[in-house]
Structure 1
Amino acid sequence: MRGAFAFFALIAGSLFGQSFYLSNDVVPRKETVELTIDPARETFEGFVSIDVELRAPASTIWLNAKNLTIGSAFIAQGDTVRPAEVIRSSNERIGIYVGKELTGPVAAQINYQGRLDDKALSGPYRRKVEGEWYAYTTFAAIEARRAIPCFDEPRFKTPWDISIRVKREHKAFSNGRQISETDEPNGWKLVKFATTEPLPAEMVAFAVGPFDVYDGGAAGHGTPVRVITAKGHAEEGHGAAQATAAILPRLEAYTGIPYAFGKLDHLALPVGAYGAVENPGLITYRTKGLLAPPNQETAAFTRALRALQAHEIGHQWFGNLVTQASWDDVWLSEGFATWISAKMMDQGLSPERVHLAAIAARERMMAVDYSARSRPVRIAINSREAARDVYNRVVYEKGAAILLMLEGWLGEDHFRDGLRAYLNEHRFGNATTDDLAAALRAASGNDPSRVLNTFLNTAGVPELRGQLLCDRDSPPRLRVTKASPGSVPVCWRAARVASSCTVLEGPSTEIALPTGTACPAWFYLNSGGTGYYRTHWTQAPLPALPELSGAERLTLVYDLRASKNTAAQAALARLASDADPDISSAAREALK
Structure 2
Amino acid sequence: MRLALPLLLATLSTTACTTVDTPPPPAAQAERIVAPILTTPDAVDSATFAQPQVARVTHVDLDLALDFARKRVAGTATLDILARDDAAQIVLDSNGLRIDRITDGRGNPLPFEIGERVEAKGEPVTVTIGAGDAQARRIVVHYTANPQADALQWLSPEQTAGGEHPFLFSQGQAILNRSWIPTQDSPGIRQTWRARITAPEPLDVVMSGVAQGEPEDLGNGRRAFTFVMDKPVPPYLIAIAAGDIDFRAIGPRTGVWAEPEVLDRAHREVADTEDMVEAAEKLYGPYRWGRYDMIVLPPAFPYGGMENPVMTFLTPTFIAGDRSLTGLVAHELAHSWSGNLVTNAVWGDGWLNEGVTSYFENRIVEAIYGEKRARQEVALDYMAILETLEEVGHDAPGTALHHPEGTDSAGSAIVYNKGAAFLRTLERAVGRERFDAWLRQWFDNHAFQPATSNMIYEDMRANLARDAAEAERLMLREWIFEPGLPANVAKPDPAAFAAVDAASAAYAAQGTIPAAETWRGWTSAERQRFLRQVPRDRSAEQLAALDRQLGLAATGNNEELFLWLDLALANRYAPAVPQAESFLAEVGRAKFVRPLFVTLMDEGEWGADIAKRIYTETRAGYHAVTRDSVDKVVGWEG
Give the TM-score, by structure 2 length: 0.63
Rate the CA distance shift 1:30–1:254 in 2: closer, same or farther, 3 A.
same
Q: Deviations over 1:78-98 (max 9, x none)?
A: x68443333233132332433
Rate the CA distance shift 1:556–1:25 in 2: closer, same or farther, 3 A.
farther
Q: 2:81 aligns with which of 41, 46, 52?
A: 52
Q: Deviations over 1:223-247 (max 9, x none)?
A: 2x22221243322222244131231
Q: Deviations over 1:481-505 (max 9, x none)?
A: xxxxxxx55xxxxxxxxxxxxxxxx
Task: Name the residue aligned to 2:541.
Answer: none
Task: Name the residue aligned to 1:270.
Answer: 299
Deviation (angstroms), 1:54 = 1.4
C-alpha contact (below 8 Å) 1:164/1:191 kept by paired residues? yes
The alignment status of 1:551 with 2:493, answered yes or no, reads yes
Rate the CA distance shift 1:153–1:391 in 2: closer, same or farther, 3 A.
farther
Rate the CA distance shift 1:343–1:143 in 2: closer, same or farther, 3 A.
same
Q: CA separation in 1, counterparts of 2:70 and 2:445?
A: 45
Q: 2:194 aligns with which of 161, 164, 189?
A: 161
Deviation (angstroms), 1:431 = 1.9
Q: CA separation in 2, counterparts of 1:434 and 1:82?
A: 43
SS of match in other structure, 1:142: coil
Q: CA separation in 1, counterparts of 2:196 and 2:95?
A: 21
Task: Name the residue aligned to 1:123.
Answer: 151
C-alpha contact (below 8 Å) 1:377/1:399 kept by paired residues? no
Q: CA separation in 2, counterparts of 1:556 and 1:346?
A: 19
Rate the CA distance shift 1:195–1:339 in 2: closer, same or farther, 3 A.
closer
Task: Name the residue aligned to 1:138.
Answer: 171
C-alpha contact (below 8 Å) 1:46/1:112 kept by paired residues? yes
The alignment status of 1:531 with 2:476, answered yes or no, reads no
Q: CA separation in 1, counterparts of 2:133 and 2:410?
A: 34
Q: Deviations over 1:353-379 (max 9, x none)?
A: 523541342133123224325523345
C-alpha contact (below 8 Å) 2:209/2:228 kept by paired residues? yes
Rate the CA distance shift 1:93–1:134 in 2: closer, same or farther, 3 A.
same
Task: Name the residue aligned to 1:345.
Answer: 365
SS of match in other structure, 1:424: helix
Task: Name the residue aligned to 1:458.
Answer: 482
Q: CA separation in 2, counterparts of 1:356 and 1:270?
A: 27
Q: CA separation in 1, counterparts of 2:411 and 2:94?
A: 22
Moved over 3 A (4+): 18-21, 79-82, 99-105, 346-350, 377-383, 437-441, 446-450, 552-557
SS of match in other structure, 1:47: strand
Task: Name the residue aligned to 1:90.
Answer: 117
Deviation (angstroms), 1:347 = 8.6
Task: Name the residue aligned to 2:218.
Answer: 184
Q: CA separation in 2, counterparts of 1:47 and 1:245?
A: 37
Relative to total residues, which structure has the larger strand share, 1 or 2? Answer: 1
Task: Name the residue aligned to 1:285.
Answer: 314
Higher relative contact order (CA 8 A, sep 6+): 2
Task: Name the residue aligned to 1:201.
Answer: 235
Letter in structure 2 aligned against 1:339: Y
Letter in structure 2 aligned against 1:136: F
C-alpha contact (below 8 Å) 2:56/2:90 kept by paired residues? no
SS of match in other structure, 1:115: coil
How many residues align? The count is 445
Rate the CA distance shift 1:348–1:213 in 2: closer, same or farther, 3 A.
closer
Deviation (angstroms), 1:136 = 0.6
Q: CA separation in 1, counterparts of 2:346 and 2:231?
A: 19
Q: Give the 5 Å matches for 1:29-428.
A: 29-55=58-84, 57-76=86-105, 81-91=108-118, 92-98=122-128, 100-102=130-132, 106-117=137-148, 123-128=151-156, 129=160, 130-180=163-213, 181-218=215-252, 223=253, 225-290=254-319, 298-299=321-322, 302-304=323-325, 306-345=326-365, 350-351=370-371, 354-372=374-392, 374=396, 375-380=398-403, 382=405, 392-428=412-448
Letter in structure 1 aligned against 2:117: S
Deviation (angstroms), 1:133 = 0.5
Q: CA separation in 2, counterparts of 1:183 and 1:348?
A: 42
Deviation (angstroms), 1:427 = 0.9
Deviation (angstroms), 1:422 = 0.6
Task: Name the residue aligned to 2:610.
Answer: none
Over the aligned positions, Cα root-mean-square deviation in angstroms equals 3.4
Q: Deviations over 1:63-106 (max 9, x none)?
A: 11111111111233xx6844333323313233243374347770
SS of match in other structure, 1:198: strand
Q: Deviations over 1:455-497 (max 9, x none)?
A: 22222234xxxxxxxxxxxxxxxxxxxxxxxxx55xxxxxxxx
C-alpha contact (below 8 Å) 1:58/1:103 kept by paired residues? no
SS of match in other structure, 1:334: helix
SS of match in other structure, 2:231: coil
C-alpha contact (below 8 Å) 1:96/1:108 kept by paired residues? no
Deviation (angstroms), 1:30 = 0.7
Q: CA separation in 1, counterparts of 2:332 and 2:217?
A: 35
Rate the CA distance shift 1:84–1:261 in 2: closer, same or farther, 3 A.
farther
Task: Name the residue aligned to 2:592.
Answer: none
Task: Name the residue aligned to 2:463.
Answer: 442
Deviation (angstroms), 1:286 = 1.5
Rate the CA distance shift 1:160–1:270 in 2: closer, same or farther, 3 A.
same
Deviation (angstroms), 1:214 = 2.2
The answer for unaligned runs of 5 or more in structure 1 is: 1-17, 291-296, 463-487, 490-529, 533-549, 558-579
Task: Name the residue aligned to 2:602.
Answer: none
Rate the CA distance shift 1:380–1:46 in 2: closer, same or farther, 3 A.
farther
Letter in structure 1 aligned against 2:227: F
Deviation (angstroms), 1:335 = 0.3
Letter in structure 2 aligned against 1:97: V
Rate the CA distance shift 1:435–1:380 in 2: closer, same or farther, 3 A.
closer
SS of match in other structure, 1:110: strand
The answer for unaligned runs of 5 or more in structure 2 is: 1-44, 500-521, 535-638
Deviation (angstroms), 1:257 = 1.8
SS of match in other structure, 2:89: strand
Deviation (angstroms), 1:322 = 1.1
C-alpha contact (below 8 Å) 2:54/2:84 kept by paired residues? yes
Deviation (angstroms), 1:262 = 3.2
Deviation (angstroms), 1:209 = 1.9
| Percentage of identical aligned residues | 20
C-alpha contact (below 8 Å) 2:266/2:296 kept by paired residues? no
Letter in structure 2 aligned against 1:267: V
